[in-house]
């Protein structure tokens, strides 16, 4: 559309890129900013203003001072790292959108060292020749899980893919209809199966599958029996599924390998914290499964990775699969994974030092202490518009694990006079660092379970800053 006369006048008055840049070079604010960043910001602000003129927005947009403020805001944004720390006040321990698992302190310091130095990533120091990167964690994985052999890829989706591709390309894979899992981010068992070249053969019904269903589906084309742990949902009521042990017996009888995708694999029996029982990796291995896959960064609390444990000959086959090269993990992950696995040699230590486990097992009295502390700090701000009270609530495990689990927790519900809960949530989210909570009954809820020690004062400062601005 042609600009109107008024719009044409505004466009003529719009400062050019060069004149704004000239101002910028004189301003010490931009001293430490790369020139290309400043130039891009100026262009963006001018383009944006031109669009606003065409949309008939107010005229003071053209004042140079206002434009420069906008340029500074754009520059500030561009100079802030995109991936940054946030305060997880959601109470969801393994929060997929907020980085899933936090690494243990020891894993972090080892990782920092390995990142900055050369390492024996693929070098066998005792033999003085090339080594296998997987060998760095294989022994540990075998020691903890009881398996014969182990290997690692980039994530569990990759682990499932490479296992199916190795064991079942062009052959039928029998899976219960109750286990055709979809997890977030478009991982669906039927789709991964298709990509791997395995042919999905569904048996049973959504709520009940029996041994006979598997048996009836066996043909000469069968290549694998697959069990998938329904880690992010639960089929309740009139249900039946075939235990791994029974499937293993069937597999033995017909000389077929049996695989289990555990998803949120854990080495720790959660019932020891009074939580819902999750099948452990050790139990799956002891049941005789030929191959077991699980995530490194769900309940395990390590870095993103896909762990594969099982029979030696099968792991050998997987290692030779070219997909393994495409899915291989890097040295930083490997270092963090090794450190995390080492901690698991002592389960009590694991629960203390691995943040995911510590937060899941965190005693209510400890969460309450933190809630009382935060409530007091908020009160000390001394703003009568602020109302912050302690509430009982429940937190979730998250990360597609323990779907029915509700962990009793303590929360602070915040209300600010004259401010909607939505606006409050947004202001907290835009804080530096962002504070991510949830809205419930017109309150902004901070669940203290996942609020780390340093986070308490960050939240308090964030609230104080926001009150000052309002
Ligand atoms: C989470 C999950 C996966 C995928 O694991 P990622 O590590 O996220 O790739 C696969 N299968 C099941 C059952 C899962 O729960």
What is the C-alpha to C-alpha distance for residues 108 and 104, in angstroms, rounded to an integer? 6
Give tens-digit pLDDT for 143-168: 999 999 999 999 999 999 999 999 99
Does a structural domain hold residue 48?
Answer: yes
Q: Summarize the confidence of residues 321-330 as an average pLDDT.
A: 96
- Dmax (CA) of the chain: 86
* One domain for residues 182 and 279: yes
**What is the structure's pLDDT at 105?**
98
Look at residue 331 in the predicted model and tell me its pLDDT: 96
Q: Is residue 158 part of a domain?
A: yes
Domain assignment present for 305:
yes
Per-chain mean pLDDT for the chain: 94
Confidence band for 126, pLDDT divided at 50, 70 and 90: very high
Query: Does residue 29 fall inside a structural domain?
Result: yes
- Candidate ranges 7-16, 181-190, 216-225; pick with highest mean pLDDT: 216-225
CB 428, CB 466: distance < 8 Å: yes
Residue 137 has pLDDT above 90, yes or no: yes
Q: Is 261 a member of any domain?
A: yes
Q: Ligand 1, atom 14: nearest CA belongs to which residue?
A: 263
| Three-state SS at 397 | coil
- For residue 59, what pLDDT is reported? 63
Q: Domain span at residue 58?
A: 5-79
Nearest CA to 303 among 342, 285, 280, 329?
A: 329
Q: How far apart are CA 41 and CA 48, in angstroms?
A: 10
- Nearest residue CA, atom 6 of ligand 1? 156
Percent of the chain exceeding pLDDT 70 equals: 99
- Compute the distance between CA of residue 83 and CA of residue 81 in angstroms, rounded to an integer: 6
The CATH number covering residue 213 comes to 3.40.640.10
Same domain, yes or no, for 376 and 445?
Answer: yes
Condensed to tens digits (0 to 9), the pLDDT of residues 412-462 reads: 999 999 999 999 999 999 999 999 999 999 999 999 999 999 999 999 999
Give residue-wise pLDDT tens across range 52-75.
899 887 666 678 899 999 999 999
Instruction: Quote the distance between the C-alpha of residue 110 and its chain's center.
Output: 21
pLDDT, one tens digit per residue, over 300-315 is: 999 999 999 999 999 9
Residues 229 and 129 in one domain: yes
Q: Are 328 and 153 within 8 A, CB to CB?
A: yes
Nearest atom within ligand 1 for CA of residue 158: 9
- Given a contact cutoff of 8 angstroms between Cβ atoms, the answer to whether 412 and 448 are in contact is yes
Single residue among 325, 353, 381 that ends a domain in this structure: 353
Q: Residue 182 forms beta bridges with which residues?
A: 188
Last residue of some domain: 312, 335, 353?
A: 353
pLDDT at 185: 67
CATH number of residue 381's parent domain: 3.90.1150.180
Structure confidence at residue 61 (pLDDT): 66
Q: Is residue 100 part of a domain?
A: no
Asked whether 287 lines ligand 1 (CB < 6 A), one says no
Question: Half-sphere exposure (CA, 13 Å, Cβ side) for 10?
Answer: 21
Core vs surface per residue 239-263: b (16+ CB within 10 A) or e: eebbebeebbebbeeeebbbbbbbb
Residue 264 forms part of a structural domain:
yes
| Same-domain check for residues 348 and 292 | yes
Q: What's the burial of 103, exposed, middle or buried (CB within 10 Å: 0-12/13-18/19+)?
A: buried
Q: Which of 353, 388, 423 is the last residue of a domain?
A: 353
Give yes or no: residues 153 and 171 share one domain.
Answer: yes
Q: State whether the beta carbon of 295 lies less than 6 angstroms from ligand 1.
A: yes
C-alpha 265 – ligand 1 centre gap (Å): 9
Report d(CA 275, CA 402) in Å as an integer: 9
pLDDT at residue number 26: 96
The average pLDDT across 221-235 equals 90
406 within domain boundaries: yes
Pick from 131-135, 136-140, 194-198, 230-234: least confident = 230-234
Q: Is the CB of 409 under 6 A from ligand 1?
A: no
Ligand 1 pocket test, pick from 191, 263, 397 with the greatest ligand atom count within 8 Å of Cβ, gives 263
Averaged pLDDT, 98-120: 97
- Domain match, 125 and 227 both: yes
Same domain, 251 and 337: yes
Q: Answer yes or no: do 324 and 384 share one domain.
A: no
Gap between the Cα atoms of 167 and 256, Å rounded:
10
Q: Cα-flanking dihedrals φ and ψ of residue 99, to 5°?
A: 95, 10
Q: Which residue has the higher pLDDT, 470 or 342?
A: 342
Q: How far is the CA of 44 from the centre of ligand 1 (A)?
A: 40
* Global model pTM greater than 0.85: yes
Task: Give the count of domains, the chain.
Answer: 3
Over the stretch 354-400, which tens digit does the pLDDT of each residue have?
999 999 999 999 999 999 999 999 999 999 999 999 999 988 888 77
Average pLDDT in the 181-189 region? 80
Do 263 and 387 fall within a single domain?
Answer: no
Cβ of 157 less than 6 Å from ligand 1: yes
Judge if the beta carbon of residue 300 lies within 6 A of ligand 1: no
Same domain, 344 and 205: yes
Assess whether the C-beta atom of 333 lies below 6 angstroms from ligand 1: no
Same domain, residue pair 401 and 348: no
On whether both 319 and 448 belong to a single domain, the answer is no
């Amino acid at each position: 559309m042609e600009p109107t006369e008024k719009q044409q006048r505004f466009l003529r008055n719009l400062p050019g890129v060069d004149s704004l840049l000239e101002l910028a070079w004189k301003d010490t604010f931009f001293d430490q900013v790369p020139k290309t960043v400043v130039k891009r910001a100026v262009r963006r602000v001018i383009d944006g203003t031109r669009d606003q003129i065409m949309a008939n927005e107010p005229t003071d947009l053209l004042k140079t001072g206002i434009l420069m403020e906008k340029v500074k805001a754009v520059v500030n944004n561009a100079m802030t790292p995109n991936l940054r720390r946030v305060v997880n006040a959601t109470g969801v321990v393994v929060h997929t959108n907020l980085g899933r698992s936090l690494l243990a302190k020891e894993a972090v310091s080892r990782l920092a060292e390995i990142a900055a130095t050369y390492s024996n990533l693929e070098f066998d120091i005792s033999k003085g020749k090339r080594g296998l990167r997987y060998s760095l964690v294989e022994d540990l994985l075998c020691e903890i899980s009881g398996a014969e052999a182990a290997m690692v890829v980039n994530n569990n989706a990759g682990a499932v893919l490479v296992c199916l591709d190795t064991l079942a390309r062009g052959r039928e894979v029998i899976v219960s209809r109750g286990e055709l899992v979809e997890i977030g981010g478009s991982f669906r068992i039927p789709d991964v199966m298709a990509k791997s070249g395995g042919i999905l053969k569904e048996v049973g019904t959504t709520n009940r599958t029996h041994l006979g269903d598997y048996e009836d589906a066996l043909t000469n084309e069968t290549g694998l029996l697959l069990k998938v742990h329904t880690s992010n949902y639960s089929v309740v009521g009139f249900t039946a599924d075939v235990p791994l042990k029974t499937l293993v017996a069937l597999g033995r009888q017909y000389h077929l390998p049996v695989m289990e995708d555990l998803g949120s694999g854990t080495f720790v029996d959660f019932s020891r914290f009074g939580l819902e029982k999750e099948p452990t990796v050790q139990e799956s291995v002891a049941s005789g499964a030929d191959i077991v896959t699980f995530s490194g960064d769900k309940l395990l609390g390590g870095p993103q990775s896909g762990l594969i444990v099982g029979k030696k000959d099968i792991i050998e086959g997987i290692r030779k699969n070219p997909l393994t090269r495409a899915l291989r993990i890097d040295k930083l992950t490997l270092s963090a994974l090794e450190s995390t696995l080492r901690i698991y040699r002592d389960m009590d230590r694991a629960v203390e030092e691995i943040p995911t486990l510590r937060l899941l097992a965190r005693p209510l009295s400890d969460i309450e202490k933190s809630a009382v502390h935060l409530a007091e700090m908020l009160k000390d701000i001394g703003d009568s518009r602020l109302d912050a009270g302690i509430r009982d609530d429940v937190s979730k495990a998250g990360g597609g694990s323990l779907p029915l689990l509700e962990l009793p927790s303590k929360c602070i519900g915040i209300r600010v006079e004259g401010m909607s809960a939505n606006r409050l949530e947004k202001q907290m989210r835009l804080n530096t660092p962002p504070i991510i909570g949830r809205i419930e009954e017109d309150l902004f809820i901070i669940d203290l379970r996942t609020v780390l020690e340093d986070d308490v004062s960050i939240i308090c400062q964030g609230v104080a800053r926001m009150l000052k601005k309002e």
